[in-house]
Each structure stands twice: as structure tokens, then as C-alpha cells.
Structure 1
Amino acid sequence: MRELIPPVSPEQLPEDLRAQWEATPRPGLRSFIQVMAHAPDHFRRFNEVYGALRFDNHLDARLTELVRLAVARTTECQVCMAGRHPDAVAAGLTEELVDQLGGDARTGLTSAEDAAVAFAIAFATDHHTVDDELLDALAAHFTPTQIVELALLSVMCLVGRFSMLLGLVEDASCALPTSTER
């Protein structure tokens, strides 16, 4: 695929974005920062909103990460799939659970988590498939505030589609282990 947007060189990154770039060892995330630096003010606002939705919400860390990774599975974004939030891992997020996010059988999830993941996948792939049964499941487990947060988190995570369009990848050191490698 041809390069759609050339990355801003690290030397030309604004100081705050350069600090973010230097703070991550992940090449895909570094490339994402370099591309987004073409619109630094918008990228900063995106990060602010995304950060609040991901880390300061009315959902727990494990659920937030499950939803984020469920959307990442739909976008096939390597950059998105490579990260794990330590609080979610401490709360029981395992690679076995992550592996199940793409399938219909999701054992190990609570009924609330399963409803949120099903919603995120449907919302991210074809919002027309969000039916009354799925909405009822959400309403049974979540407050209106939490449902809005689930939807907005799903929207923000769809930036992975842009990452894939740009061809951003993580190197082998960031690859997710397969089930046989664990």
C-alpha cells in the first residue's frame, strides 16, 4: 500500500508529542504519533477525550479493556491489540479472554461483560445489527451513563481503522502470543 501520510520526523514533533514518542518503545504507536502530529491540536484533543473515556469512566478497568480490545479485533489494528492496561490485567484480563473476543463463545466473561463486548463488536462492525435483545442486555447491566461511555469508547477505538489504512504495524517484539506460545 502506498504511504498516505508521511510521518513527521521525530526532530520536528512538537515537544509534548516528542515526549510521548520517546516514552513508548512500540514502533506502531510511535508511527501513529508521527502521523497524527500533522494535526497536533486535534490529536491532543483526541488524546484528552480518549484518555478520559478509557481511564476515568464509570466502568471497571477490565470491562473497559475488554471493550477496547473487542473493537480492536474488528479493526484488526496491531497497534491497538498490542497494548494491555496493567489494571485490567490485575483485574483478571487474560490472553485467553482476549482470544475469545472474536468468537461467539466467550466463556470467562460475566453476563455484563459479554453484553458490552457483543455491543462493541456489533457497533464497530455494523450498527444495524444492534437489536432489541442486545439493547435489553445492555439496559439490564448498565446505567445510561455507562451505556453512553461504552458507545463513546467504541467510537474512539475505531481510530484503529485509520491505523490500518495507514499500514501501521508493531514489530515482532510486540506481537501477541498465540495460544500455542503461552
Structure 2
Amino acid sequence: MLISTVEKEALSPYMRKIADDLYPRVDPLFMPHFERYMGLLGNAPEHAERFFPYYFGIWFDNGLGPRITELARLAIANGTQCQLCLAVRYTAEVGEADVAALPGVDASTLTPAERAVVRFATHFGNDHHKVTPEHFEDLQRHFSDEQITELLLWSAMALGLGRILKVAQLVDDSCPLPARDGSARTETIAAA
């Protein structure tokens, strides 16, 4: 870990409430990583208090619905291989068969709208240079401009937070960063 983190007991009351609400949703295997993530945000409690309402708003109060939002998050995590992001499930509307379908986007468990989102989010998170006008045409067959904008905001949030976990070394194996030639570069780091 490259930066100190705040222990749960020392988090602000607001941050402790957020942690208490989220911890039951985290796979126990990845709890140490999640605690470090919350502890990192605890270093800037005033910003965290402004951040979380936006974060939860774009995540849970959007026009995409919980299933589409979760599929987009997991599509990004699947490509970046963010182990913490992959370990957490935030809605029962996405089952393990759906998660297994993400690499092959055409699985029968996904609707055409869901496949469009997964294709878009996969490229957004892994090689944004491959996002084409065709991706937007596909999305526009199923979603309004407002929903597509929410998808863009949510995708940026999911990718950005995964990158924080990687660059601050809060996870062991996470989020391969693209090399200059556009290929994925995976690094293994030891969490402190």
C-alpha cells in the first residue's frame, strides 16, 4: 500500500455508516481490500461526504435500473480483472450465469439491450479507442440519451474507482493498465 488508511473505528460517523451498510455485501475473502479502500477515502472525509451521494446516486438512482448498472460495472471489472470489483455483487438481479456470460456477450441470459451495454462497457473499460459510433447506435436502439449519459458517467466511475485500487496498491492483483501500444499490461503487486 502506498498511502496510509484510516481504521474503521477512526472513520467519521458518516463514513462508518457507509462502511456498515456496504460491508455485508462484500465477499469475506476480499474484506481486507475493501476495508483499506474505505480507509483510503477516510483520509479525506469532507470530500468523501460529498462524493458518496453522487456515487450512490449515479449507481442506484438512475434510469438504467439495477441489473443494467451492475452488468456494466461487472463488464468493466471483468476486463480489467479488478479482483475486488469482481468479488462484490450489489443486486440479486444479476446471477452467476450472467457474470459467466460477460466475456461472451451473446449468452442467452442477456437481452439485446444488456448485450449492447456489456459490449460498450467492455470497450470503455479496456480499450476506449475501440468505442465506435456503432456502439452508440446499438445503445440508442434500447436507451434514451439520458440513460446513455448515465451509462457514461457510471462507466467512468466504475473504471476510475478500480484504477484507484490499482495505483494505490490496495489490492493484490487488479486492473491491468494499458501499455502504450494499446495491449493490456498486467502487474502483480503485494498488498501491504
Give the structure-1-normalised TM-score.
Answer: 0.81
After superposition, the Cα gap between the structure-2 partners of 1:106 and 1:36, relative to the gap in structure 1 and judged at 3 Å, is same
Aligned partners of 1:9, 1:57: CA distance in 2, in Å?
32
- Counterpart CA distance in 2 for 1:141 and 1:13 is 42
Matches within 5 A, 1:26-175: 26-86=31-91, 89=92, 91=93, 93-158=94-159, 159-169=161-171
Q: Which residue of 2 aligns with 1:5?
A: 3
**Number of the residue aligned with 2:17:** 19
Counterparts of 2:143 and 2:52, CA distance in 1: 25
Partners in 1 of 2:12 and 2:3 — Cα distance? 17
Deviation per CA, 1:103-131: give whole Å up to 9, x if none: 35433211111101111111112222111
**Secondary structure of 1:102's aligned partner:** helix
Counting matched residue pairs gives 164
How far the C-alpha of 1:32 sits from its partner, in A, is 0.6
RMSD of equivalent CA atoms: 2.0
SS in 1 for 2:5: coil
Q: TM-score, normalised by structure 2?
A: 0.77
* CA 1:44–1:79: 2 relative to 1, 3 Å: farther
Q: Which amino acid aligns with 1:10?
A: K
Percent identity, please: 40
- Cα 1:104/1:58, change in 2 over 3 Å: closer
Between 1 and 2, higher relative CO (CA 8 Å, sep ≥ 6) is seen in 1
Q: Does the Cα contact within 8 Å between 1:28 and 1:169 map onto a contact in 2?
A: yes
8 Å CA contact 1:68–1:157 kept in 2: the answer is yes
Aligned residues of 1:78 and 1:168 also touching (Cα < 8 A) = no
Q: CA deviation at 1:19?
A: 3.0
What are the ranges of 5 or more consecutive residues in structure 1 without an aligned counterpart?
Answer: 171-182
Deviation at 1:164, TM superposition (A): 2.4
One-letter code aligned to 1:68: R
The CA distance in 2 between the partners of 1:77 and 1:163, in whole Å, is 8
Secondary structure class of the residue paired with 1:160? helix
Partners in 1 of 2:157 and 2:119 — Cα distance? 17
Tell whether the 8 Å contact from 2:74 to 2:85 is kept in structure 1 after alignment: yes
